[in-house]
Amino acid sequence: MFTLRAARVSARLPRPALRSFSSSRICSGRAIVYSENGDPSTVLEAVTYPNLFSPPPPSSAHIRFLLSPINPADVNVVEGVYPSKPTKTGALTTQGKGSEGQPVFVGGNEGLGQVVALGEGVKEDTLKVGDWVVVTKQQSGTWMSERHIPVADVARVPNAEKLTEAQAATLTVNPPTAYNMLHDFVDLKQGDWVIQNGANSAIAAAKGINTINLVRNRDNIGELKSSLEKLGATHVLTYDELADKSVREKIKGWTQGKDIRLGLNCVGGKETTLMARYLGKNAHLVSYGAMSKQPLSLPTSLFIFKNLTAHGFWQSEWYKTRSAADRDTLMKTLVEYIVEKKLDTPEIEVVKVGKDRTDAQASEAVTGVFKGLAEGKYGKKVLLNLE
Amino acid sequence: MFTLRAARVSARLPRPALRSFSSSRICSGRAIVYSENGDPSTVLEAVTYPNLFSPPPPSSAHIRFLLSPINPADVNVVEGVYPSKPTKTGALTTQGKGSEGQPVFVGGNEGLGQVVALGEGVKEDTLKVGDWVVVTKQQSGTWMSERHIPVADVARVPNAEKLTEAQAATLTVNPPTAYNMLHDFVDLKQGDWVIQNGANSAIAAAKGINTINLVRNRDNIGELKSSLEKLGATHVLTYDELADKSVREKIKGWTQGKDIRLGLNCVGGKETTLMARYLGKNAHLVSYGAMSKQPLSLPTSLFIFKNLTAHGFWQSEWYKTRSAADRDTLMKTLVEYIVEKKLDTPEIEVVKVGKDRTDAQASEAVTGVFKGLAEGKYGKKVLLNLE
């Protein structure tokens, strides 16, 4: 029954108002779990837990996951090298590996679910059965067919009927990171300039903020530049171009001498040192990634004489430290951007693990995905759908 | 006459209330000038300017310098490699170098002077004849016997009668840097912890703030540690000790697990990377120097996952961006610290250039000082006194 109903949602048909019902009708769930850190393609396994779901506890929701993204950071979490660690859950235990009954980790940080049932004390204006929610508490474990989760750890997707499942499922990490970095550090006005080496320029463009976007040189650089410009980039420069001294005058011409007051960095290393030199006085450099795996290395003179401030940004921390109202406002804003087509949906590939598969087959499918990811076989973002 | 009066001040006798008088009684001044950037021991020359001083312009003061420090940054300014550049003054020109009449730079950034005369429009509660003032506008040119200077570019020394000339002359750069860095970035409470690699710990100690002070290992390390502890350091560690993993537990014991929320850095390079790893969550790392001449290199993870913020601090910029009232409050606070012996006076050496010397002799004396500084002959801070 639920499968049917969810399928209807997936097909973007209007969702019927769901009746409240006894959650005892759903009794089993499948999860992608691991009991020890390691290579995801080795340590992950799919396990079906029968008779798992009693009615949700007070202030919690029973949600059914529709799509659960696999982000690069998720791999690091499974490996045990990410600073944010999940906790093992006693309700889910190892199965059939000779160490039955030990609590396990459930993988996944980001996920879109639909509310199936609500525990006591959840007000209807907070959450209703049938609502779409995204998980905002980090490392909650989203690679699961369904689970109980405290209402405080999810955000309702506003105007969900206007979004695809993939748009909603990828709403919690990348779009808010791009949005908040543009808003939390510098009070940018229309016509101001940002320099960046990775972030989305669509939100900036939607707000009339200009971006200079840095990319590595490559064969099809002309093509890449036009595609980035189509996505909202005001200008695109390669690091080679940036290293040429004449570019300073060019940039001055673009900005009409206006100081660039915000730099967004997900690369690090010497390319970011170079980028930082183009920031103006009193600028802020915000790092949210380190794709080069090199430290952020900046001349002290930039801090002292140009009053540079360097920050980090972590969307998970944002969710943790901000109020539920802030979170809802953010979601509403981002959904509006998507609806107005000011924000692109990432290219995605859904990996569906059907309920007809055995746990062994499901395990094989999922570990295969991680093997493929490690080999760079997926150009697109992969989303799991565990039936 | 003025020499006498000033000499009396230097001797720490009570200063007589100076009568207002015509500034035409002083007509010549000597300055340490340069017309081109270069090695100070080559490009600096002492020049006497006769008939220089008309009455000071409105809102300006005619001040006689008592002591003008030579700071390491002054050398960089003369070399032309410091970001803050002086402007040439048309009133002072080159003399006897075959290019007479070209405007020159006057050296010196920090200096203590006494007000000799005031231009129109200066209110008595702002400044009076006889007051001690320190120059707060950067690169005003303080290596001079006397000069006109806008009242806005100086700060009156409060409770000057309680200070020595040397204490007052060294009041504008180092003590406020140490003070402001402790106050402008983190709201530190008594019992909180700071980690630093160079700054004065006396102000922190006076406020009940604990400091962990990092030094390079050396032969007399025990001696150095005790002397730093006497000056207010709570603990002193060498970088070798800091690199040992066991020190983390030791520091945890000292701080009783409290996060270190402020790091003060004047070194840079890998030693500062190491220091930054001991900062707690939401900490601020403030750089005010780069003695290692190495960039500040920090793992991006500290910014993202520990929410580190890195800033620079430059006292000159502080003076530029704060109000006169802020500046006066700062001076008052620092003088109180000195009077209460909560702040040490640096060890100094005064180089006096008597008025009986010719310009050639004076030039030789001054360039000799810079040769000596370059050779590391002065362990103490050198202050010029141009009669």
What digits encode the pLDDT tens for the residues A17-67?
444 444 444 467 899 999 999 999 999 999 988 777 778 999 999 999 999
Neighboring chain A residues of B72 at a CB cutoff of 8 Å? none
What's the confidence (pLDDT) of residue A89?
77
User: Of A68-72, A146-150, B74-78, B98-102, which range is least confident?
Assistant: B98-102
Give the type of residue at A112: L
Supply the ipTM of this predicted assembly.
Answer: 0.87
Q: Is the pLDDT of residue A191 over 50?
A: yes
CB A154 within 8 A of CB A113: yes
User: Of A312-326, B43-57, B208-222, which range is least confident?
Assistant: B43-57
- For the record, the structure tokens of B32 come out as 């340490």
What's the confidence (pLDDT) of residue B369?
94
Q: How confident is the model at residue A155 (pLDDT cuts 50, 70, 90)?
A: very high
Q: How confident is the model at residue B289 (pLDDT cuts 50, 70, 90)?
A: very high
Percent of chain B with pLDDT over 70: 91
Q: How confident is the model at residue B5 (pLDDT cuts 50, 70, 90)?
A: very low
CB atoms closer than 10 angstroms to residue B248: 12
Neighboring chain B residues of A297 at a CB cutoff of 8 Å? 295-298
Q: Is the pLDDT of residue B20 over 70?
A: no
Instruction: Please give the residue that has the higher pLDDT: either A302 or B355.
Output: A302
Q: What is the mean pLDDT of chain A?
A: 88
* For range A127-131, the mean pLDDT: 95
* For range A276-289, the mean pLDDT: 97
Q: Is the pLDDT of residue A347 over 70?
A: yes
- For the record, the structure tokens of A210 come out as 């200009």
> Of how many residues is chain A composed?
387
What's the confidence (pLDDT) of residue A16?
41
Residues 6+ apart with CB under 8 A from A153: A135, A136, A137, A140
- For the record, the structure tokens of A316 come out as 């998970």
Query: From the centroid of its chain, how far is CA A169?
Result: 8
Domain regions of chain B by residue span: 2-173+324-386, 185-312
CA dist., res. B298 & res. B274, Å (int): 9
Tokens 């310009």 sit on residue: B359
What's the confidence (pLDDT) of residue A100?
67
Confirm or reject contact between B305 and chain A (CB < 8 A).
yes
C-alpha atoms less than 13 angstroms from C-alpha of A366 in its C-beta half-sphere: 34
* For range A206-219, the mean pLDDT: 94
* For range A336-365, the mean pLDDT: 90
Q: Is the pLDDT of residue A361 over 90?
A: yes
What's the confidence (pLDDT) of residue B231?
86
Confirm or reject contact between B313 and chain A (CB < 8 A).
yes
What's the confidence (pLDDT) of residue A76?
92
Which of B282, B303, B305, B313 would best serve as a mutation to test chain A binding (most A beta carbons within 10 A)?
A: B303
CB atoms closer than 10 angstroms to residue A269: 17
Say which CATH class A2-170+324-386 falls into: alpha beta
Assign A269 to helix, strand or coil: helix
Which residues of A are the active-site residues? 82
Domain B185-312 sits in CATH 3.20.20.80:
no
Q: How confident is the model at residue B96 (pLDDT cuts 50, 70, 90)?
A: low
The shortest CB-CB distance from A304 to any of B301, B309, B314 is to B314
Residue B17 exposed, middle or buried by CB count within 10 Å (0-12, 13-18, 19+): exposed
What's the confidence (pLDDT) of residue A294?
94
What's the confidence (pLDDT) of residue A376?
82
Query: How far are the Cα atoms of A55, A56, A135, B247 from residue B173, in angstroms, in the given order?
Result: 67, 63, 51, 33
What digits encode the pLDDT tens for the residues B336-378?
999 988 887 778 999 999 989 999 999 999 999 999 998 888 8
What's the confidence (pLDDT) of residue A99?
59
Q: Is the pLDDT of residue A152 over 60?
A: yes
What's the confidence (pLDDT) of residue A98?
54
Which of A197, A304, A307 would best serve as a mutation to test chain B binding (most B beta carbons within 10 A)?
A: A304
Residues 6+ apart with CB under 8 A from A263: A194, A195, A196, A275, A276, A278, A279, A283, A284, A285, A286
The CATH architecture that domain B2-173+324-386 belongs to is Alpha-Beta Complex (3.90)
The answer to whether residue B82 is catalytic is yes
CA dist., res. B46 & res. B37, Å (int): 15
User: Of A19-23, A150-154, B194-198, B336-340, which range is least confident?
Assistant: A19-23
Q: Is the pLDDT of residue B287 over 90?
A: yes
Q: What is the mean pLDDT of chain B?
A: 88
CA dist., res. B277 & res. B217, Å (int): 19
B306 DSSP 8-state letter: S
What's the confidence (pLDDT) of residue B101?
74
* For range B85-99, the mean pLDDT: 72
Neighboring chain A residues of B317 at a CB cutoff of 8 Å? 307
Neighboring chain B residues of A321 at a CB cutoff of 8 Å? none
What's the confidence (pLDDT) of residue A346?
79
* For range B89-115, the mean pLDDT: 81
Closest residue in A to B310 (Cα) is: A310
What's the confidence (pLDDT) of residue B28?
79
* For range B297-304, the mean pLDDT: 97
CA dist., res. B109 & res. B124, Å (int): 26
* For range A179-205, the mean pLDDT: 93
What's the confidence (pLDDT) of residue B99?
59
